[in-house]
Amino acid sequence: MPASPSPTPPVPSRLRRFACMMYEGVLLFGVLFLASYLLDTLTQSREALTLRHARQGVAFLAIGLYFILCWRHGGQTLPMKTWDIRLIGQDRAPVPLSRMLLRYLLMWPLPLLAAWLVSRLSAATGYASMDLLIVAAPFSIFIWTWFDPQGQFLHDRLLGTRLVDLKATAQP
């Protein structure tokens, strides 16, 4: 008798999610370059610190727009397609727009907290070189996966969304 498919698809390994995240970083460089170029062109800005808060807002919106537009079309960004990872909602249903927006917003607190801790560590020790640890801040979202019984990210656990491994679901 053939085995029935599991009710919940498996979560991709941390290594595959990490690789996907690294690939996302490469693509986000292009997204941020384009958004910054448009801002500089429209405002005739010539210096990076000019309109610094506007730049941060534009970057936040550009990254959010990138993720939400990609998730709306099949639940995958290009790196997620490459690594056979898909975002799904409860009961394998597509994720509603409101949850996508909340997912994007809830992805930020842990990396921002990690970045703040790095800045406090740098200030407390007096070693400016400690600021280099800021590159590890985005990976702080993985901390929760070691405590979650299914290895999910905290924002996915809170919202009832999940990343699924398409390779494992396609195998007989």
pLDDT tier at 170 (50, 70, 90 boundaries)? low
3-24: average pLDDT: 84
pLDDT, tens digit (0-9, with 9 covering 90-100), for 48-74 = 777 889 999 999 999 999 999 999 999
pLDDT tier at 133 (50, 70, 90 boundaries)? confident
pLDDT number for residue 1: 47
pLDDT number for residue 171: 59
- How far apart are the C-alpha atoms of 153 and 11, rounded to whole Å? 10
pLDDT at 89 over 80: yes
- How far apart are the C-alpha atoms of 164 and 86, rounded to whole Å? 5
Element (DSSP H or E) covering residue 66: helix 52-72
pLDDT number for residue 107: 95
Place of tokens 């506007």: 54
pLDDT, tens digit (0-9, with 9 covering 90-100), for 135-164 = 889 999 999 999 999 999 999 999 999 999
pLDDT tier at 169 (50, 70, 90 boundaries)? low
Closest CA to 121 of 113, 112, 130, 129: 130
pTM for the complete prediction? 0.86
Specify the pairing of strand 162-165 against strand 85-88: antiparallel
- How far apart are the C-alpha atoms of 111 and 138, rounded to whole Å? 5
Q: Which residues of 138-157 are buried (b: 16+ CB within 10 A; e: fewer)?
A: bebbbebbeeeeebbbbbbb
pLDDT, tens digit (0-9, with 9 covering 90-100), for 94-132 = 999 999 999 999 999 999 999 999 999 888 988 887 888
pLDDT number for residue 5: 53
- How far apart are the C-alpha atoms of 130 and 53, rounded to whole Å? 24
| Torsion over CA: 73, 76, 82, 84 (sign) | negative
